[in-house]
Amino acid sequence: MWKYDPNSAKADEFINHEEIMETLAYAEQNKADKVLLREILKKAEERKGLSHREASVLLACEEEEINQEIFRLAKQIKQDFYGNRIVLFAPLYLSNYCVNGCTYCPYHAVNHHMPRKKLTQEEVRREVIALQDMGHKRLAIESGEDPVNNPIEYILECVNTIYGIHHKNGAIRRVNVNIAATTVENYKKLKDAEIGTYILFQETYHKESYLKLHPTGPKHDYNYHTEAMDRAMLGGIDDVGCGVLFGLDKFRYEFAGLLMHAEHLEAVFGVGPHTISVPRLRNADDIDSTSFANGIDDDTFAKIVACIRIAVPYTGMIVSTRENQQTRERVLQLGISQISGGSRTSVGGYVEPEPEDQRSEQFDVMDNRTLDQVVGWLMELGYVPSFCTACYREGRTGDRFMSLCKSGQIQNCCHPNALMTLKEYLVDYASPSTLKIGEELIQKELGNIPKEQVRSLVIEHLDRIQQGQRDFRF
Ligand code: SAM
């Protein structure tokens, strides 16, 4: 039997099944123990996070009064660390060629009726221009796993093409990459290509289920997949994004596994994941999400988001257009710091809609609004939409980003950057109604920059943006 060890390099030891089972039993036994629950909440108030065990007790808790406390604290932590800023991005699907057999994903190799598409560099260019014309500055590139059709050289070429496109005032300033687990050598190449975050969802931490859900292809190798973030870190990528696909296995198991993964990265590399994503399984081409037994309802989803926020306060949290407007609205206040907007999950979907018989979407999008609608909606809710990419371009990645969070200087740094990138969006891309709300919001939010000196510099930069200059950052 494997022994639990967060410092181990072995998947079976840092994501240890016995430890998770004991954690779940401990959570079940103590979920009504109000004294313990209050002690855990008191510790969480210190904003230093919780262990997977402590957080699992909170997740299991059914006491109404304590649950209200959990939600209140999640909102407070979100406000303290991230303020009212929400970072925006879009996915860009490069290729749906895939050799894996993932039973929940329509890109699986035995889906013979789905058209297989792979963007040429000219098509990448057109997609990126369409995304720049919407106002996007940050992308997450997505691809199936296929060493012949989508080798690392193809991904690198696409990253290079994307960074090189400057259409009107547009620019993609940060490319995050969501591709299959790979080698340290390839992670080094991605690092050299100046990617932002390397994102890889675990899908499920439950090894036995994992093996069944990934019956064929290289992704079947649970250990290789689970140890990918270690290899990414060894390759020099210090911003990694974790996540599970909720609906595949039992959510309490996944939650404990996710936090153990974060603890492992923190223990070994001194820095936890940069982001955690919370995707839920959706219908897709030949995938019926209701045929999977572990779907979670909206209340459970909200509770998971709140508990992650409390357990890892310095980790950004991402919600995609797998969620509808209403759910996104609910979880934004509980801890989400990044959302996608105006997304297409098909290969080549931004330039023009695909004909009915040629569809290549990875899953059904539940929020079909345009980026402008999403930006306007966020501002009406009191959030500041941000297109900021400053941290990673200023070398504030990994532990350097964490120290910025911990130093309390976010309000003098991230907030001005958010306002300046929002201003760029408003001047270049916004509809008249979004522009109006945005200008009022910026005026109001200038008052929330604590340092007088920073504030006057921001006012000067905003004026220069209005005159046509771009890309100011702190
Ligand atoms: N092929 C890469 C890999 O193996 O990690 C890239 C990932 S894929 C383009 C992005 C993510 O979409 C997957 O990791 C999976 O969690 C998610 N996904 C797959 N099928 C889905 C579905 N039916 N509903 C929602 N999300 C899905």
DSSP 309-325: HHH-TTSEEEE-TTS-H
Using a 10 angstrom Cβ sphere, with 0-12 exposed, 13-18 middle and 19 or more buried, the burial of residue 60 is buried
DSSP 244-306: B-BTSS-HHHHHHHHHHHHHHHHHHHS---SEEE--B---BTTB-GGGSTT---HHHHHHHHH
Ligand 1 centroid from CA 105, angstroms: 6
Cα 280 from chain centroid (whole Å)? 13
Instruction: Name the 3-class secondary structure at 138.
Output: strand
Task: Write the single-letter amino acid at 263.
Answer: E
Residue from 92, 93, 105 whose mutation best tests the ligand 1 pocket (most atoms within 8 A of CB): 105
Say yes or no: CB of residue 279 within 6 Å of ligand 1.
yes
pLDDT at 398 over 90: no
Cα 353 from chain centroid (whole Å)? 25
**How far lies 408's CA from each of 101, 392, 402, 444, 445, in Å?**
46, 18, 10, 21, 18
Read off the tokens for 176: 């995050």
Say yes or no: CB of residue 282 within 6 Å of ligand 1.
yes
Nearest CA to ligand 1 atom 20: 105
Gap between the Cα atoms of 168 and 123, Å rounded: 18
Q: What is the pLDDT of residue 258?
A: 98
DSSP 362-374: SS--S----HHHH
Say yes or no: CB of residue 245 within 6 Å of ligand 1.
yes
pLDDT digits (tens, 9 = 90+) for 314-373: 999 999 999 999 999 999 999 999 999 999 999 999 998 888 888 889 999 999 999 999
Nearest CA to ligand 1 atom 21: 105
pLDDT at 405 over 80: no
Would the CA dihedral through 187, 190, 195, 200 be positive or negative? Answer: negative
Using a 10 angstrom Cβ sphere, with 0-12 exposed, 13-18 middle and 19 or more buried, the burial of residue 62 is exposed
Ligand 1 centroid from CA 31, angstroms: 33
pLDDT digits (tens, 9 = 90+) for 53-81: 999 999 999 999 999 999 999 999 999 98
Gap between the Cα atoms of 195 and 175, Å rounded: 5
